[in-house]
């Protein structure tokens, strides 16, 4: 039986957000059973009620930065009859700011949420996932994890780290049935991006995708037979290759945009005060 035919139990972190909600709607429409994770219990309940077969889905609200609550989440997953087949590490935060304007607390929150939490949660859920013949982990990264972008130093570092983690884990588990995927969107139309980020993207001509586009690729990875790595968007996929081979080209292209990026980053800081 392939993952396409089987009803999978899927834990989605950040299901109360834009991309997590779109993934939940698509997977629920495919008949999968969802464990909807996020901090905002009310939003998760509204999402659950809107999904097909709403009674089969569970809301597991918790702040994942709290190690105790994370442990309780793993225990609740372990108690689910039939276990958990898939973990989608999607919860994330982003701050658009120059490094000089980021406090220790903001740096820690970004790296903790986007990198340490997916690592710890994956480690703690692996024994459970390994009982499933359809086991998979999908880490939601970002194009900024492959193209260092001014104004996103901490965010980019967290997503580069998430990619490195995914690659190493994929190889570490290559003799097991667990598939380990990495999905890196470019800009997506969600509340993660502040008005200043949207203004920056518009001004620089950066395209953005709908959360549903990301969800479709997530489903494709889930249905694939091997671990996969996907980058969303053209020309971003080309820029990622150019950046890997000729980083000086990307350095000079971004240097020309730096005054504008600085201006929007400062606008962002002012708006958040």
Ligand X SMILES: NC(=O)c1ccc[n+]([C@@H]2O[C@H](COP(=O)([O-])OP(=O)(O)OC[C@H]3O[C@@H](n4cnc5c(N)ncnc54)[C@H](OP(=O)(O)O)[C@@H]3O)[C@@H](O)[C@H]2O)c1
Q: Respond yes or no on whether the N-terminal peptide bond of residue 209 is cis (omega within 30° of 0).
A: no
Give the phi and the psi of residue 230 in degrees, each rounded to 5. Answer: -130, 135
Give the integer Cα–Cα distance in Å for 97 and 269.
7
- Rounded CA-CA distance 57/34 in Å is 5
- For ligand X, give the closer residue by CB, 43 or 257: 43
The residue annotated as part of the active site, out of 96, 152, 155, 165, is 155
Alpha-carbon span 205 to 253, nearest angstrom: 13
| DSSP H/E element including 103 | none
- DSSP type of residue 8: P
Q: By Cβ distance, which residue is nearest to ligand X?
A: 17
Q: Which is nearer to ligand X, 93 or 120 (CB)?
A: 93
Which stretches does DSSP call E strand in the chain?
Answer: 9-12, 33-38, 58-61, 86-89, 136-140, 179-184, 187-188, 208-209, 229-231
Q: How far apart are alpha carbons 178 and 200 in whole angstroms?
A: 39
Alpha carbons 9 and 87: distance in angstroms, whole number: 9
**Which residue, 3 or 11, has its beta carbon nearer to ligand X?**
11
Extract the tokens encoding 194. 């502040």
Which positions lie near ligand X, rule CB under 6 A? 13-14, 16-20, 38-40, 43, 63-65, 90-94, 113, 140, 142, 185, 187-188, 190-193
Q: Compute the chain's Rg from CA coordinates.
A: 18
Considering the complex, what minimum distance in angstroms separates the CB of residue 139 from ligand X? Answer: 9
| CB nearer ligand X, residue 179 or residue 233 | 233
Would you state the structure tokens that stand for residue 31, as one six-digit string?
């008949």
Shortest separation between residue 39's beta carbon and ligand X, angstroms = 4
Q: How far apart are CA 27 and CA 215, in angstroms?
A: 8
- In the complex with ligand X, the residue whose CB is nearer, 62 or 128, is 62
Please name which of 109, 124, 97 lies closest in space to residue 39, comparing C-alpha atoms: 109
At its nearest, how many Å lie between ligand X and the CB of residue 106?
13
**Active site (annotated) includes residue 155:** yes
Q: 20 vs 161, which CB is nearer to ligand X?
A: 20
- Residues marked active site are found at 155
């Amino acid at each position: 039986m392939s993952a396409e035919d089987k009803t999978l139990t899927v834990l989605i972190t950040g299901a109360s957000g834009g991309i997590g909600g779109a993934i939940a709607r698509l997977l629920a429409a495919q008949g999968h059973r969802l464990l909807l994770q996020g901090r905002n219990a009310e939003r998760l309940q509204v999402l659950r009620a809107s999904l097909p077969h709403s009674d089969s889905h569970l809301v597991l609200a918790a702040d994942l930065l709290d190690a105790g609550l994370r442990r309780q989440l793993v225990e609740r997953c372990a108690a689910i009859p039939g276990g958990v087949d898939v973990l989608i590490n999607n919860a994330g935060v982003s701050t658009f700011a120059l490094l000089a304007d980021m406090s220790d607390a903001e740096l820690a929150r970004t790296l903790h949420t986007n990198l340490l939490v997916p690592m710890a949660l994956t480690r703690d859920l692996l024994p459970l996932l390994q009982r499933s013949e359809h086991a998979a982990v999908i880490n939601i990264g970002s194009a900024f994890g492959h193209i260092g972008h001014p104004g996103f130093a901490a965010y980019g570092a967290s997503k580069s780290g998430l990619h490195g983690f995914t690659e190493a884990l994929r190889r570490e588990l290559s003799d097991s049935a667990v598939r380990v995927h990495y999905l890196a969107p470019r800009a997506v139309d969600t509340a993660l991006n502040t008005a200043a980020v949207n203004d920056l993207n518009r001004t620089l001509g950066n395209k953005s995708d709908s959360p549903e586009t990301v969800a479709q690729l997530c489903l494709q990875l889930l249905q694939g037979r091997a671990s996969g790595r996907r980058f969303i968007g053209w020309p971003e996929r080309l820029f990622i290759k150019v950046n890997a081979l000729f980083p000086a080209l990307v350095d000079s292209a971004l240097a020309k945009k730096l005054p504008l990026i600085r201006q929007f980053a400062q606008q962002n800081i002012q708006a958040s005060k």
